[in-house]
Amino acid sequence: MNLATSFDLDGDHATYEVRTNVALYQDRLVHLGFAPAGTGRFVRRPSASGDVRRTHANFARHLEEMLLQSASHRPVPWEDALEIFLTRVEESRLSWFLYGSGALAVRRIDVGPGDLDFSVDDAHLAGELFEDLLVEPVTEFTGWVADRGGRAFAGCVVEWIAGVHDTDEPHEQSPTARLDHVHWRGHDVPIAPLDLQLAVSRRRGLTDRASKILAAGYPGAVE
């Protein structure tokens, strides 16, 4: 069994099941939030919102590419994915900002994003804007830093979260965080502030990323 996936509907949730005996894929599935469910089986239970059959079909189509990109075995065309995101949201009422490695990459800090992460004010609106690209329905969370989120594939994984909670420790996704802005390919891109990203990188033990942030300083707009 190389890689296979199926899904089932159970009330308000869908069950995504992936079956694989490839250790690399198994490791990356856990990274993507799937839980082991027996030998070679992994499951994730998103909310059954929207056209979940179409969404799972997208997931099945792109699953192997997502796993290989996650494992750094394939290039991640994050610039193209960011262009798609910006084009779709610029005429909408969605409020958002970019955080994570993508927010560093648009500053020309050499981090090589594996995906793009956004904090948004309306996860369901984002889901509507990216409906044809969804690989996971907009999902309600419990016991996590955010209340809901979604996942699409636009050449690489694009994720967003909404209803982010403030915590005792600062985090990049905080809706109350001040934002920086960069000018990227003709777009104004709101991003998590560099000092906050440095603090998060240090807390997570990402020493190489922290060193690159320190070396970059606090740049202004970039072209």
Q: What is the mean pLDDT of residues 29-38?
A: 96
Q: What is the pLDDT of residues 188-203, one digit of tens each?
A: 999 999 888 888 889 8
Q: How confident is the model at residue 219 (pLDDT cuts 50, 70, 90)?
A: very low
Parts of the chain belonging to CATH 3.30.460.40: 78-216
Q: How confident is the model at residue 37 (pLDDT cuts 50, 70, 90)?
A: very high
Q: What is the pLDDT of residues 92-115, one digit of tens each?
A: 999 999 999 999 999 999 999 999
205 pLDDT higher than 60: yes
Give me the pLDDT at residue 175, please: 66
2 pLDDT higher than 50: yes
Q: What is the pLDDT of residues 150-184, one digit of tens each?
A: 999 999 999 999 998 877 777 788 766 689 999 99
Q: What is the mean pLDDT of residues 32-43?
A: 96
High-pLDDT (> 70) share of the chain, %: 95
Q: How confident is the model at residue 85 (pLDDT cuts 50, 70, 90)?
A: very high
Give me the pLDDT at residue 177, please: 66
Q: What is the pLDDT of residues 130-157, one digit of tens each?
A: 999 999 999 998 878 889 999 999 999 9
Instruction: Kindly indicate whether the domain formed by 78-216 is annotated with CATH number 3.40.120.10.
Output: no
pTM (whole model) above 0.85: yes
The Cα–Cα gap between 60 and 18 comes to: 9
215 pLDDT higher than 90: no
